[in-house]
Chains A and B, each alone.
Chain A
Amino acid sequence: MKKVLLLIMLLGLTPLAASSPLEEGYRAYKAAEENSSPAIRRQNFESALQLYLDAQKKYPRHEALLYNIANCYYHLQEYPSAILYYYRALKLNPRNFKAANNLKISQKQAGLNPPNHKIASVVLFFHYYLSLSECLGILLISAISFFLWQSISLWRDKKIFKTLRNTSFILIVIFSTSALTSLYFAPLQGIILKPTTLHQEASNDYTPLNYKPLLGGEKITIVSNNSEGLWFQVFTHDGQKGFISATDFEVI
């Protein structure tokens, strides 16, 4: 009887003992935060980062995972990479205030000025404060709602049904415009990972446009790329247009 009880206890404990890589990553991160030795901290942050990066290969678009990766990069003082991953997390959830705050700190650490809020972000709040998947979710609900009220108003000619149908249609227009803009019309943006300079043409042989280099962590807007994909024409945050090497940045 005792043996049976022991077996049941062991079976019950097994799931607790075998933790997932994500949990191990979290533990390594926490251990790093709590440790006072820089060498051990670095080692733990690095192992946490590696575990998270491995998980990201399987789940490339998971907000919390991207946020955790960004935090690891931050503690390892790789601010450009941290900024990149905070932006990626914010792209999936623009209302992740922790990520937004950490992003500002990382930008300051990288010697950058955090960008100001635009008026457009207030007016078109649904576009700036809702993620693409949220926009698509609302669009889906609006579409279902529209067809429902349209069907009802076909058989029951009442004003309320028509009002609900029209409201659904307006929502469809708003959110489909927002989603289509995000998906197909919004320019690609990237983060400078390696300080570089803007060039006049797609080659290192051309003189730089500006002596002042683009810093790691700066946000750029991609205009086009050359046929080989080795150089990209970009806009910087201050409106300068030029070419940078594909190895110097990553797309958000």
Chain B
Amino acid sequence: MVRKSCYSLLLLILCWGTSPLLAVNIKAHLISDNPSAHHPLRGEIEITIEPGQVIDSDSFTIGKSPLKVELMNSQEYPSSSGAPNIITIYSFELPSQSPGQHLLAPIGVRVDGRHYTSQPEVYRVHPTKKDPRFLLETSLEGPSSLFPGQHTTVTYQIKTKAKIDITDEYFPLLKAKGFKKIGSLKRRRYRSADGYDIQELSQKVEAHKPGIYKYESSFIEGYIYEFDMYEEVYHFKPKLRADYPPLTVIIEKFPPKGKPNNFYGTIGDHYDLQFTMLNPQQITFGDPIKLELIAKGDAPLETISIDSLIKQPAFKEHFKLLSQPQSDITSPNTRRFVIELYPLSVDVDSIPSWEFSYFSPSSHKYITHRFPATPITILSDDQESSVNFSSSYSLEDTPKIAGNVTIHEEDLKKPWPLKKLIVWTILIGILLVLIQIYLKYRLTNTSTPKPSKSSKNYFDMARQSPDNWAFLLEQALMTKLYEQGYLKEHINNITNLPHEGKAGKVRLFLLQVQEKRFAQGHNPDLQKIIAEAQKLLEEL
């Protein structure tokens, strides 16, 4: 009983000792040391968890309202006890607050299903003040309505008439939503005629995606400062602020009315175009053709596209590009394209005519320039002269060939399934041959039984039997022939013996014996016959 109580106490102590290590720790604070009025407040949430614990990032709340957060970082660190901890940092943004003291409400989050909250925190929002010594101006070159491909420059001017330490700035136009940035951000400083020190930030951009883009108001904030007698910076409060009202920019779609099929987004009010073939008009088949397009104009040269040439069906059918067209801007208002291609057939007789279309933003009209077909002559390898098989060659010029043959429906019978027939013939043939081999084997075995006695037995019996010696002698010799393999099967009758070879010799001997036996008035000499037969047997 006492031991049980001790264990329980030990377990309680252990649980109590490790409980701070297991607890989820959540801290929230604002990033800015001196948050000021009129601009959003940014903050961070730091959550310490153990490996394996899961933070539900959709469960963040501030007070009782949901809070949108963004994951900044998550890393594993060893804790003071040596056990690993994971520290995850989220950022959040709160709307701008009026000057004065405020409370950062507890921020809550769910970790492994349990809800944890941070401690509330007090912060102060400092007032800002407009001052004629601190101004912000924003400009967008040209019209506020643009077409895709058109270029413009966004400029911010920070105008000051005092030493100002800028603490915060917000320039949404430099993010260039809906635009593509061209080149890097340019900065310059100068003094204006009215006595302002101007810091200018400018970015060249290209209208990209059609739409209406509303940019929030831009602002800068900072303190006027002076150096004190100890050469240290002294900030004069309150903080100064300069705003520029929100801006709306429209990127328009190209008007569908009158839009040519070969329009590929080239924009400009006027282009001087020159299209030439750089190689001789007569080329050998297999040699590449070099074409050059020079476009001169004030409009954005980057938008010039020669897709209307290389994507037209007549071009794709007869030519193949050697590589992607090369282009360079040779002077501020001139762009040069070089297209290398080769003809796909000796029949090709021209570079097809093509049209180059562009859109004029000032007149809101499409302008099309047509290039005529460029004749070319392609010689095949074995042709010295300019003989080619051009499409102009008429049907009548075709050399004569053997003409068509008459076909009747009955000629179109389906052919025999020969492959199947062969397979079945082979299978059936093998089967039939096997059956025949088996039949022959069976017949041989039943018609010619093996001799019951050996040749030696028959011969001994012949010598001892004066009445039946002739039959026994025949059997002895024929059995011997069978035993020695001269006969494939055992034969009982002399007449069935072959005429040639050893069997023929035996046949002859036995016929002579028969002659002697049946000769009139002649008694055969049995001993002599037996001796001859023995000699023959030994020979076999």
Contacts and interface: CB of A to CB of B under 8 A. Distances in A.
A243 to B, nearest CB: 14
Contact of B425 (A74, A77, A140): A140
A140 B418 contact: yes
A143 B425 contact: yes
12 contacts: A20-B409, A41-B395, A72-B404, A106-B401, A111-B380, A113-B382, A136-B418, A140-B421, A147-B433, A151-B433, A155-B440, A213-B286
Interface residues of A, number: 61
B436 interface: yes
- 3 closest A-B pairs (Cβ-Cβ)? A147-B429, A195-B344, A212-B286
Contacts of B418: 133, 136-137, 139-140
Nearest to A213: B344
Given A55-B412, A62-B407, A64-B405, A208 B395 contact: no
A101 interface: yes
B433 A154 contact: yes
A185 B393 CA distance: 42
B511 interface: no
B406 A62 contact: no
A98 interface: yes
A38 B398 contact: no
Contact of B405 (A33, A45, A67, A113): A67
B408 A71 contact: no
Given A20-B409, A136-B418, 20 more contacts: A22-B408, A30-B404, A41-B396, A59-B412, A65-B407, A67-B404, A74-B401, A101-B401, A102-B401, A109-B398, A113-B382, A136-B419, A139-B422, A143-B429, A144-B429, A154-B437, A155-B436, A211-B288, A212-B285, A212-B342
A contacts with B: majority SS: helix
B426 A71 contact: no
Contact of A62 (B288, B389, B402, B412): B412
Contact of B394 (A38, A55, A74, A106): A38
A44 B26 CA distance: 88
Interface string A132-158: 010011011001101100110011000
A150 B433 contact: yes
Nearest to B419: A136
A140 B405 CA distance: 30
Interface in A52-78: 55, 58-59, 61-62, 64-65, 67-68, 71-72, 74-77
A227 interface: no
A105 interface: yes
Contact of B342 (A64, A147, A213): A213
Interface string B374-404: 0000001010000001000111101101111
B308 interface: no
A249 interface: no
Given A137-B418, A197-B320, A213-B344, A74 B407 contact: no
Residue among A59, A61, A74, A76 facing the most chain B CB atoms (10 A cut-off): A59
A38 B396 contact: yes
B88 to A, nearest CB: 43
Nearest to A152: B436
B405 A68 contact: yes
A235 interface: no
A38 to B, nearest CB: 4
A151 B436 contact: yes
Given A36-B396, A211-B286, A213-B320, A196 B344 contact: yes
Interface in B273-287: 285-287
B22 interface: no
B534 interface: no
A43 B279 CA distance: 40
B interface, over-half SS: loop
Contact of B415 (A29, A61, A207): A61
B212 interface: no
Contact of B406 (A26, A111, A136): A26
Contacts of B342: 211-213
Contacts of B440: 154-155
Given A143-B422, A195-B344, A211-B286, A71 B403 contact: yes
B500 to A, nearest CB: 14
B411 interface: yes
Contacts of B401: 71, 74, 101-102, 105-106
B220 interface: no
A215 interface: yes
Most buried by A among B345, B401, B406, B430: B401
A144 B430 CA distance: 10
Interface in B287-337: 287-288, 320, 322-323
A16 B271 CA distance: 70
A68 B404 contact: yes
B154 interface: no
A22 B425 CA distance: 36
A42 interface: yes
A238 B380 CA distance: 17
Interface in B404-460: 404-409, 411-412, 414-415, 418-419, 421-422, 425-426, 429-430, 432-433, 436-437, 440
Contacts of A190: none
Interface string A225-240: 0000000000000000
A137 to B, nearest CB: 6
Interface string A173-200: 0000000000000000000000111000
Contacts of B345: 111, 195, 213, 215-216
A75 B432 contact: no
B501 to A, nearest CB: 15
A62 B413 CA distance: 9
Contacts of A58: 412
A101 B400 CA distance: 11
A101 B205 CA distance: 67
Contact of B407 (A64, A75, A111, A212): A64
B346 interface: yes
- The interface centre, meaning the residue of B406, B414, B430 with most chain A CB atoms within 10 A of its CB, is B406
Contacts of B286: 211-213
Contacts of A113: 382
